[in-house]
A and B are shown apart, each in its own frame.
Chain A
């Protein structure tokens, strides 16, 4: 770690002034929903933060989370912050493959045992570990082995945080989340499908500056998941006045009214989509005219249908999700058993829907 340059040297080498650093710290403070008075503390902490080794494991996932975090429009200081951690293993991004890649992971683990940060995207299949392997090592084994020496784990994306889409009905692989398996390490959940890139870098920056952030009951940093999308939605005044779009092409839709009746999950979804937005602050789904899918919440894929309003009963799924979370947290139920029991119930209740049905329901 010591042979790698610290952030101030990196900034200088990239021709960025101290003023630029202060600008970044100001924006980061705003992003982390901290008081502007904290700005000097953040600047001080970032300057003196050691650059931790990061091992990034990708399991049952679509690589959307990695795509999101690497897609920035221009090289910004966020990229530098990311360079300021030492990314020692990421099998999608690294040049090495096969045994050489695994050797890099093992070397990083050995050198930084007890100190490295483990980032995981993707869920873990437990029905048959052979469903997803890397270099012949099952996801389950690799997670357990790598988590053992980690200082903390960041579960990036809804798959790693809550099982996500692989976990969705009927969960063919018995997919579970990181938190279902690892019980003895601090886990920061950064859900989203994918999470907002600056939220991922913001959580890492928070970890560098102040350690583990304050988390909510679902293990998410409160700074980014403290409020619902509905709380901050620019269409909220329409909701308050009872003005709703009833279809995607009616007058209400054209005039930008609230999408609640079209199935918007904004009122029950915690995320900063409405303020931070996507693609460098350009827009977010509701601004583009589509209801929020609720992708930062557990079991969002099974939560009663994307185009059904929240007021329509969602069947067993929503209750099932909450019960699973509660059971996992309180009783420490083994992830595999939990996934299997959930799977059986979901398979029994499986409802097939075609495009014609969707048309009728919306």
Chain B
């Protein structure tokens, strides 16, 4: 009962989630009070997901209108687990997913709203470093950087020289 009251007090908690996930909000259903609380907390909302989605819409208008790319720092906004869930639900998963192995991993994913990308950076220990929404035709981090290409040229030339010598 306690859990149901607690759950009601959180923001969005609509029928879709109840039906879609089959979650039953009672302690008895999973037999464990702590995991029940964790489950309910995963729906906790600060109400900030909707304004962020509007910001993304405006950024997309800018991108199409004059080609201006934008970045939204998700770490700068108080976000609870439920906000993340809502954002992911609305944006969905798109056609492109990339994993970068650079000082830990980075996940870059185009959402189902083309032009809107999720860029999440993790360190070597797998901990989140930063999370961004990029509204752009191509996230900068995916492009080969000029300096790295110059290094590549150096490397290839050296290897060819080694081949010639042997």
List residues of A whose CB falls within 8 A of some B CB: 8, 12, 16-20, 22-24, 26-27, 29-31, 33, 35-37, 39, 73-74, 76-77, 231-232, 234, 236-237, 241, 243, 251, 254-256, 275, 280-282
Complex-state Cα separation, A76 to B75, whole angstroms:
20
- Determine the distance from Cα of A8 to Cα of B151 in the docked complex, in whole angstroms: 12
Which B residues are in CB contact (< 8 Å) with A77? 103
Contact among A12, A36, A237, A282 for B72, CB-based, below 8 A: A36
**CB < 8 Å: which of A18, A26, A232 contacts B147?**
A18
Cα separation A29 to B140 with both chains bound (whole Å): 15
The secondary-structure label for the interface of chain A is: helix
Choice from A17, A26, A237, A243 contacting B130 with Cβ under 8 Å? A26
Q: Is the interface of B mostly helix, strand, loop or mixed?
A: mixed
B141/A26 in contact, CB under 8 A: yes
**29 A-B pairs in the complex with CB atoms less than 8 angstroms apart:** A12-B151, A16-B102, A17-B102, A17-B145, A18-B147, A23-B102, A23-B129, A26-B119, A26-B130, A26-B132, A30-B129, A30-B130, A30-B132, A31-B130, A35-B73, A36-B72, A73-B124, A76-B123, A236-B78, A237-B9, A237-B10, A237-B44, A241-B9, A255-B6, A255-B37, A256-B37, A256-B41, A281-B127, A281-B128
List residues of B (1-31) whose CB comes within 8 Å of A's CBs. 2, 6, 9-10
With known contacts A18-B148, A23-B121, A282-B127, A232–B106 Cβ distance under 8 A: no
A23 cross-chain contacts in B, Cβ below 8 A:
100, 102-103, 106, 121, 129, 141
Q: In the complex, what residue of chain A is closest to B149 when comparing beta carbons? A: A18
Q: Looking across the interface, which residue of chain A has its beta carbon closest to that of B34?
A: A254
Question: How far is it, in angstroms, between the C-alpha of A74 and the C-alpha of B105 when the chains are bound?
Answer: 14
Shortest Cβ distance from A255 into B: residue: B37
Q: Which B residues are in CB contact (< 8 Å) with A33?
A: 76
Q: Which of B75, B125, B129, B141 contacts A22 (CB under 8 A)?
A: B141
Bound Cα distance A243, B41 (Å): 14
Interchain CB contact (< 8 A) of B103 among A20, A234, A280: A20
Q: Which residue on chain A has the smallest CB distance to residue B46? A: A237
- Tier of interface size on chain B: 35 or more
Q: A73-B125, A280-B127 are in contact. Are A234 and B148 (CB under 8 A)?
A: no
B33–A22 contact, CB under 8 A? Answer: no
CB distance from A240 to the nearest CB of B (A): 10
Interface residues of B in 37-89 (CB under 8 A from A): 37, 41, 44, 46, 71-73, 75-76, 78, 80
> Is B2 in contact with A27, judged by CB distance below 8 angstroms?
no
B123: which A residues are within 8 A, CB to CB?
73-74, 76, 280
Q: Is the CB of B6 within 8 A of A76?
A: no
Q: 6 tightest CB-CB pairs across the interface, nearest first?
A: A36-B71, A18-B145, A74-B124, A18-B147, A30-B130, A27-B130
Most chain A C-beta atoms within 10 Å of own C-beta, residue among B71, B123, B148? B123
CA distance A16 to B144 in the complex (A): 14
Instruction: Give CA–CA (A16, B141) in the complex, Å.
Output: 14
B148/A17 in contact, CB under 8 A = yes
Smallest beta-carbon distance A222→chain B, Å? 14
Known: A17-B102, A19-B100, A23-B102. A237 touches B80 (CB 8 A): yes
Q: Which of B123-156 contact A (CB under 8 A)?
A: 123-125, 127-130, 132, 140-141, 144-148, 151
